[in-house]
């Protein structure tokens, strides 16, 4: 039996190129989902936006649902990273929460370009939907933990952390309903105002 | 030519009964839209929830779309009334805004029972959709006017009223995504916390 050599791993150059192409596909898909809706978008639409043939997409994703799942997955990984950054970079709950809000808003406006794909979990396969919901729940728990800590330390008023998180995520998720990248307010300015509004309402509320 | 008498108007008793039945139909429809989604709901489903035959619904509404439009229309009339109440009942912009937020939250939780029908303008006929969007725009303008006044009077920080209104309406509209009437937090308590959080963030923000 002669040993068959395993195919050589792609070179770093090729891998970097593949990563860029994959990111381009996801970006094009987000824009297509935003402009046409997920259900009306075809793989041909996405390929045309990237400037490749549909068959080229199959090197990266088996089907449209896999692209939608990747969009969900990457943005949930991203918000998970925001929590870590906030914990590492800031000492107070108010600063940590402000960081997460500012950067989550920028994720909505800049990376996702106002794409309302977050409304479409129902379009995922049951297995993918379960994983997305689990990751989303984990993010909500981490946000709640920051607020609980702020309440315990007396930084925040004695709110229900659960209700406060729903108010904050509602404000942020709703961005997909009205934001247009070509509009006058940039993501950074929007993030700053949201953070001041939504953190300020916890730190400075009048005593009941 | 003999004059043909116009049919007698229904008695006050009959009219009150018709109003109650109409309200029952709208309430049953909201619950059905919430539980099954608008598209999957049939007139038979709504009739069954009211406990009448489908033909009885036709005395009130020509079709399912007319019921959806009535749901939109009545809730928009209701939020319009909240603005008037706030203007008449309270002197400061902060109190006016708090009233509108508290009562809009209760409309979402109690009257609409967390029904996400607000997400379904696309299911309306073009004429109805136009009217709903116009009424919604008018409500947003009135909310902005309260915030502009608060900024002018120095009650609120120098925010963009447009962005502040989007944050507030996002938080409120998102309620339809997570609220369950059988859950532990009542509408009144939720409205109180939302008002403190979302008004507090405008009145007490730190100087930049």
Whether A199 sits inside 8 A of B199 (CB atoms) is no
Q: Is residue A3 part of a domain?
A: no
Surface-to-core class of residue A137, CB atoms within 10 Å of its CB (0-12 exposed, 13-18 middle, 19+ buried): exposed
> Are residues B44 and B112 located together in one domain of the fold?
no
Query: Are B199 and B98 in contact, with CB atoms under 8 Å apart?
Result: yes
The residue in chain A having the minimum alpha-carbon distance to the alpha carbon of residue B116 is A119
Among A114, A159, A193, A204, pick the best mutation site for testing chain B contact (most B Cβ within 10 A): A193
Q: What confidence tens digit (pLDDT) does each residue in B172-198 have?
A: 999 988 888 888 888 999 999 999 999
> Are residues B36 and B90 located together in one domain of the fold?
no
Chain B hits for A39, CB-CB cut-off 8 Å, are none
> Are residues B15 and B85 located together in one domain of the fold?
no
Angle between helices B161-173 and B93-106 (to 10 degrees): 30
Range of the domain at B77: 64-203
The residue in chain A having the minimum alpha-carbon distance to the alpha carbon of residue B177 is A170
B188 lies within 8 A of chain A by CB: no
pLDDT, position A25 = 95
Q: What confidence tens digit (pLDDT) does each residue in A61-107 have?
A: 999 999 999 999 988 999 999 999 999 999 999 999 999 999 999 99
In this structure, what are the phi and psi dihedrals at residue B168, rounded to the nearest 5 degrees?
-65, -50
Residue B208 has pLDDT above 70, yes or no: no
Q: Is residue B26 part of a domain?
A: yes
B176 by DSSP, 3-state: which? helix
> Are residues A113 and A177 located together in one domain of the fold?
yes
Q: How many domains does chain B have?
A: 2
Over residues A161-190, mean pLDDT: 91
The residue in chain B having the minimum alpha-carbon distance to the alpha carbon of residue A178 is B166
Q: How far is CA A145 from the centre of its chain?
A: 19
Residue A121 has pLDDT above 70, yes or no: yes
pLDDT, position B53 = 93
> Are residues A102 and A91 located together in one domain of the fold?
yes
Q: How far apart are CA A170 and CA B105, in angstroms?
A: 13
Over residues A11-16, mean pLDDT: 89
Q: Over chain A, what is the mean pLDDT?
A: 89
Whether B205 sits inside 8 A of A200 (CB atoms) is yes
Chain B hits for A170, CB-CB cut-off 8 Å, are 170-175, 177
Q: What is the CATH number of the domain that holds B183?
A: 1.10.357.10
Q: Which two tokens stand for residue B22?
A: 């109409």
> Are residues A57 and A70 located together in one domain of the fold?
no
Q: How far apart are CA A62 and CA A67, in angstroms?
A: 8
Reported pTM? 0.88
Q: Over chain B, what is the mean pLDDT?
A: 89
Alpha-carbon distance values, A51 to A55, A63, B38, B203 (Å): 12, 18, 37, 50
The residues, any chain, with a CB within 8 Å of residue B28's CB and separated by 6 or more, are B46, B49, B50
> Are residues B71 and B96 located together in one domain of the fold?
yes
> Are residues B54 and B85 located together in one domain of the fold?
no
Considering only A45-49, A86-90, A194-198, A200-204, which range has the smallest mean pLDDT? A200-204
Chain A hits for B196, CB-CB cut-off 8 Å, are 157, 159, 201, 205-206, 208
Chain A hits for B163, CB-CB cut-off 8 Å, are 185, 190, 193-194
Whether B197 sits inside 8 A of A205 (CB atoms) is yes
Size of interface A-B (CB pairs under 8 A): 117
B164 lies within 8 A of chain A by CB: yes
> Are residues A71 and A38 located together in one domain of the fold?
no
Q: How far apart are CA A48 and CA B146, in angstroms?
A: 46
Q: Is residue A2 part of a domain?
A: no
Q: What is the CATH number of the domain that holds B38?
A: 1.10.10.60
**What are the DSSP calls for A4-53, one per residue?**
PPPPPPPPHHHHHHHHHHHHHHHHHHHHHHHHH-TTT--HHHHHHHHTS-
Residue B18 has pLDDT above 60, yes or no: yes
Residue A207 has pLDDT above 50, yes or no: no
Label each residue of B26-76 as H, E or C.
HHHHHHHHHHHCCCCCCHHHHHHHHCCCHHHHCCCCCCHHHHHHHHHHHHH
pLDDT, position A118 = 56
With tokens 């953190």, the residue in question is: A199
Residue B89 has pLDDT above 50, yes or no: yes
> Are residues A56 and A135 located together in one domain of the fold?
no
Considering only B34-48, B87-101, B188-202, which range has the smallest mean pLDDT? B34-48
Chain A hits for B121, CB-CB cut-off 8 Å, are none
Residue B28 to chain A, least CA–CA distance (Å):
24
Whether A193 sits inside 8 A of B159 (CB atoms) is yes
Q: How far apart are CA A119 and CA A117, in angstroms?
A: 5
> Are residues A128 and A169 located together in one domain of the fold?
yes
Among A123, A155, A186, A200, pick the best mutation site for testing chain B contact (most B Cβ within 10 A): A200
Among A169, A174, A197, pick the best mutation site for testing chain B contact (most B Cβ within 10 A): A197
Residue B134 has pLDDT above 50, yes or no: yes
Q: Which two tokens stand for residue B7?
A: 């049919």
Q: Is residue A99 part of a domain?
A: yes
> Are residues A105 and A185 located together in one domain of the fold?
yes
ipTM: 0.86
Q: Is residue A107 part of a domain?
A: yes
Whether B171 sits inside 8 A of A175 (CB atoms) is no
Q: Is residue A112 part of a domain?
A: yes
Q: Is residue B2 part of a domain?
A: no
Closest CB to A201 among B162, B170, B200: B200
Q: Is residue B5 part of a domain?
A: no
Q: Which two tokens stand for residue B8?
A: 């007698």
Residue B13 has pLDDT above 80, yes or no: yes
């Amino acid at each position: 039996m002669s040993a068959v050599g395993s195919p050589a791993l792609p070179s770093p150059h090729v891998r970097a190129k593949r990563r860029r192409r994959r990111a381009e596909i996801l970006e094009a898909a987000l824009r297509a989902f935003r402009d046409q809706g997920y259900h009306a978008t075809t793989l041909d639409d996405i390929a045309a936006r990237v400037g490749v043939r549909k068959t080229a997409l199959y090197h990266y994703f088996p089907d449209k649902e896999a692209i939608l799942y990747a969009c969900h997955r990457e943005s949930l990984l991203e918000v998970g990273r925001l929590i870590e950054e906030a914990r590492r970079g800031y000492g107070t709950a108010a600063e940590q929460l402000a960081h997460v809000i500012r950067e989550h808003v920028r994720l909505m406006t800049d990376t996702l370009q106002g794409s309302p794909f977050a409304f479409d979990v129902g379009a995922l396969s049951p297995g993918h939907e379960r994983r997305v919901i689990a990751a989303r729940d984990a993010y909500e728990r981490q946000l709640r933990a920051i607020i609980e800590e702020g309440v315990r330390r007396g930084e925040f008023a004695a709110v229900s952390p659960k209700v406060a998180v729903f108010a904050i995520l509602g404000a942020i998720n709703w961005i997909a309903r009205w934001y247009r990248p070509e509009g006058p307010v940039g993501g950074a300015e929007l993030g700053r105002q949201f953070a001041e509004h939504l953190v300020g309402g916890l730190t400075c509320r009048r005593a009941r």
